Chains A and B, each alone.
Chain A
Amino acid sequence: MVEIATADAPAKAASGGNILQVRNLEAWYGESHILHGINFDVNAGEVVTLLGRNGAGKTTTLKSIMGIIGKRTGSVKFNNQDIIRTTSDKIARMGIAFCPEERGIFSSLDVRENLLLPPVVRPGGLPLEQIFDLFPNLKERLNSQGTKLSGGEQQMLAIARILRTGANFLMLDEPTEGLAPVIIQQIGHTIARLKKEGFTILLVEQNFRFASTVADRYYVVEHGKIIDGFSNAELAANMDKLHTYLGV
């Protein structure tokens, strides 16, 4: 099947627009079996959100894709290449970047060092000026110790540092957790702008009101499986179901 690239599909897209394909993904933390066969797709240029309750397996799904869960089976195809057995440093070099829930700002590094830490894996990353344009606070605090920043600034730093690397597939784990509404709004604008720049984003969120402002599609995770999926247009029709799934 041949697809014709349209103007709004980024040039970086894989053939057929399908950039990530997860099939029957299972994962374990030590003895405990967390993921029981996850199936979903992400198309190039999309923002896809995984919704679900605490402990449903959303974070584990991201970590399994990134290759930082020891035991995982099934298939994860990134640009048609199976990465289920690939180590995380090689996965990163293929163009996947991960922003963990705990943000992972290094306390022994200053803000500048934190920002410049992830190596550039391919051309096409955002130049520093553009990153400071998105997050002006960071520019003023370049010499501060990484963990002296406020929670919101740390979140911005955690996102900012993976934009430089040229990775065009970003996985953001609960970027709004514990942040003030005005910061959440700023992160929402950032995600919208990144999407416009051609980034593909896989988002994990508990806050679906926030998710609904940025996402194209949703998958619902429960007990280590994807139990439902719908597009943003179908959100209103699925609201009741969603309330049951999320228990809100």
Chain B
Amino acid sequence: MQALYAQLLVGLINGSFYALLSLGLAVIFGMLNIINFAHGALYMMGAFVAYFLLNLGGINYWWALLFAPIIVGIFGMILERTMLQWLTGLDHLYGLLLTFGIALIVQGVFQNYFGSSGLPYAIPDQLKGGMNLGFMFLPVYRGWVVIFSLVVCIATWFLIEKTRLGAYLRAATENPTLVRAFGVNVPRMITLTYGLGVGLAALAGVLSAPINQVRPLMGADLIIVVFAVVVIGGMGSIMGSIITGFALGVIEGLTKYFYPEASNTVVFVLMVLVLLVKPTGLTGRAA
């Protein structure tokens, strides 16, 4: 039983990263119509920025949670202004190829300087140790990642679905020309949206640094699974991408317990099934 709970926890943690990343991808896809293949590289950059802040600037984990998403978000907004914005109106494929190229360049640069091995990032003092819950031992940091990710996901959902700013965002996703003709600076909103999506990826990167170490290819390994999550959940829905992210993490964890051989493929098997039965994804709207 202990092992089952442990795998469930691992599943929830992976699910947290899936949710944060697929949420960002969904927001970016909705607004920019771009399948952001650079997402994994930007997640990795989040972890590296946290590492640099700590080791070069003496800035601790808590500030890194704030600054790394902002710094990487600004980097993302520069990418959007200088490159992605020129793809408006073109086929998805162009955005996918461009962001794929960006991902390879960013990863290549980091690999050139840091190789492929991991750099350690210590768990902050306040979150060290563990709690005995009676039925299992919970490392505090892991519990924190799950709860904090959930809070960030729900806050993002609230921002998009329940606020005035979110209404602009949803409306501009449907008809950017008309929203702009109402007096809203839509190009600026698109840039900020990309910054938000990228910032969520960077935040996931910071959260993962103490668990998975900081590696140039940490995003490349993760992003393939995240794209499968997005395909299963459907691109159109914010809540859908959150729930699917956590659910697939848990399913993966359960598979690790019951049939470990399949744990790396279960998500892709589900993806194939969903594509066969409901190609727009479980919660997605038809394109």
Task: Determine if B175 and A98 form an interchain contact, defined as CB atoms under 8 angstroms apart.
Answer: no
Contact B167 A113 (CB under 8 A): yes
Q: Are A89 and B173 also in contact (CB < 8 A) when A100-B178, A109-B167, A117-B167 are?
A: no
- In the complex, are the beta carbons of B175 and A106 less than 8 A apart? yes
Interface size of B by CB at 8 A reads 18
Q: Does B184 contact A (CB under 8 A)?
A: yes
Within A167-204, which residues are at the interface with B (CB < 8 Å)? Answer: none
A68 to B179, CA, bound (A): 11
Query: What 19 additional pairs, Cβ within 8 angstroms, besides A117-B182, A162-B182?
Result: A66-B181, A68-B177, A88-B181, A89-B180, A89-B181, A89-B184, A89-B185, A89-B186, A90-B183, A93-B183, A97-B182, A98-B178, A106-B171, A108-B174, A109-B167, A109-B171, A113-B167, A117-B168, A117-B171
Nearest-CB residue, chain A, relative to B161:
A108
Q: Is residue A154 within 8 Å, beta carbon to beta carbon, of the partner chain? A: no
CB distance from A115 to the nearest CB of B (A): 10
Residues on A with C-beta less than 8 A from B182 are: 89, 92, 97, 117-119, 162, 165
A177 to B188, CA, bound (A): 34
Q: Which residues of B contact A97 (CB under 8 A)?
A: 182
A interface list, Cβ under 8 A from B: 66-68, 87-93, 97-98, 100, 104, 106-109, 113, 116-119, 121, 162, 165
Q: How far is B161's CA from A113's CA once the two chains are assembled, in angstroms?
A: 11
Which of the residues A104, A106, A116, A121 comes within 8 Å of B164, measured between beta carbons? Answer: A116
B181 to A106, Cβ gap below 8 A?
Answer: no
Contact A92 B164 (CB under 8 A): no
Q: Taking the complex as formed, is B92 at the interface, i.e. its CB lies under 8 A from any CB of chain A?
A: no
Q: How far is the CA of A66 from the CA of B179 in the complex (A)?
A: 12
Chain B residue nearest to A122 in the complex (CB)? B183
Within 8 A of A (CB), among B86-108: none
Contact B170 A109 (CB under 8 A): yes
Complex contact A106–B170 (CB within 8 A): yes
Cα(A108)–Cα(B181), bound, Å? 18
CB pair A98–B183 under 8 Å, yes or no, is: no
- Is the pair A108, B171 in contact by a Cβ cutoff of 8 Å? yes
A107 CB contacts on chain B under 8 angstroms: 174
**How distant is the Cα of A131 from the Cα of B186 in the complex, in angstroms?**
27
